Amino acid sequence: MKKTSDAVYATLSQALLTGALPAGTQLIETRVAAIFSVSRERVRKALHQLGHERLLELVPNKGAFVKAPTLEQARDIYEARRVLEGGIVARLAGRMTLQQIDGLRAHLAAEQAASTRGDRAASIRLSGEFHLLLAEATGSHAVIHDLRELVSRTSMLVALFEESHASHCGCAEHEAILKQLALGDVDGVLNATYAHLSLIETRLQYRKPAAPVEAEEVLKRAWLSTAAQSHGD
């Protein structure tokens, strides 16, 4: 497996989206670079990408830290998503092409496969991408930008506060949204979308903050897992 910036990003993303790194954990460039035997520039690129996705907090002159979102923030974020995504699905109902519907069905199949094999990181990422595909179908760059921001902010909330088995529920709820979109039922897709986002919010449960871990050991295990998956492909 080539030790590219993409591979470093994939490994760090996996560790973050599985909740293996507790909130507040600092990722030090030099140590991460040593684990992967890559340059600091490659690590810095991956850290900045994760910061852009709101999975890490990049603090000037201090470094990169695992995001520490709160359940109080979740309420505001999911309300914003209900407002924005309600408009998205109402706009799309009855207007999507067969190609777009088929693309969503293929994506949903990938979601279900990730859930079945227990790939927590892939499940969270694919779940967010389902909603982004809907935004992209509107053709509005402003809508895509705003939803991408909101979805990024919820990724760590889900990783830290939702039980891993909940991905099965999410797949079923996405399927309900897709069914109503295909039927062109505006009221039906609005109800399915609002129910889905509200159910995600209720599945977020407070957990006692995880004990500090040795970030280097977590990343070494994640790197081995990512490399094994790459060879398997």
What pLDDT digit, counting tens, does each position of 87-143 carry?
A: 999 999 999 999 999 999 999 999 999 999 999 889 999 999 999 999 999 999 999
pLDDT of residue 128: 94
Measured at the alpha carbon of residue 206, what is the angle toward residues 200 and 212, in degrees to the nearest 5? 120
Q: How far, in Å, CA of 206 to CA of 131, rounded?
A: 25
- Hey, which CATH number is domain 71-203, 3.40.50.720, 1.20.120.530, 3.30.9.10, 2.40.110.10? 1.20.120.530
Residue 43 or 7, more confident: 43
Which residues make beta-bridge pairs with 56?
66
For residue 165, give the DSSP letter: G
The encoded tokens of residue 51 equal 């910061």
- Phi then psi for 65, rounded to 5 degrees? -130, 145
The confidence score (pLDDT) of residue 230 equals: 56
Task: Give the pLDDT score at 19.
Answer: 85
Residues 6+ apart with CB under 8 A from 134: 85, 88, 89, 92, 104
Q: Which CATH number fits domain 5-68+209-232: 1.10.3720.10, 3.40.50.620, 2.40.50.180, 1.10.10.10?
A: 1.10.10.10
